[in-house]
Structure 1
């Protein structure tokens, strides 16, 4: 590589949707949080599965939800969580409890560290990854 060759930052790993998870990723591209619901157990389900966790019924339906919830817990990574994420520090890794019940892991954005409180209300932020068809789900404090 010569000094004149521009260096691209390392590409970050992206999710690889599979048939079972595709509706979730399609929803994010549409600016919608979409998770599964099991009528037999009257339970919302996340991460995507093939059968309802309590009943093992094959009745899971994809439904749109608000995506809003509360901050269940978080940690602040001051060192890269992987080499591909160097330069993103500090990274605020959060577990969000959705209003529907399931918890998911994401990152908090648009917040000062001193303002973060467990139990605070959060809302989804949809981050399009340039030059891909991928949209990532992040969270920020709700107004």
Structure 2
């Protein structure tokens, strides 16, 4: 049996806030009604980078520039392998049409730490912020 592989992305705005979505509140899905990073499962023959770009376009209608996406790390967790990426983003979430989940929200480092996130996202976000330089704007 092969390992399930998924992707997620830390989309960081110029105010150092991470874009998250509130998962649907359906008992048949993992982590119903919890906040999570955006992402999804790899399709056959797809690379993790291709997957995360596809998922973001499908879920929020944003086409990410492949040259602005950085691989953060890959973790093996109890539910499978997770590839985490980072990209700077500057969007107004009120203009986004969300196709999955209940709503979008911006989370500061403090907000994320104070919220129990799906998919063990607290650990990856804390690790990400610990390694990020303080800066006013993103490249």
TM-score range, shorter chain: under 0.3
Q: Which structure is higher in strand share?
A: 1
Q: Which structure is higher in helix share?
A: 2
Provide the TM-score with structure 1 as the length reference: 0.25
Larger RCO (CA within 8 A; separation ≥ 6): 2
Provide the TM-score with structure 2 as the length reference: 0.26
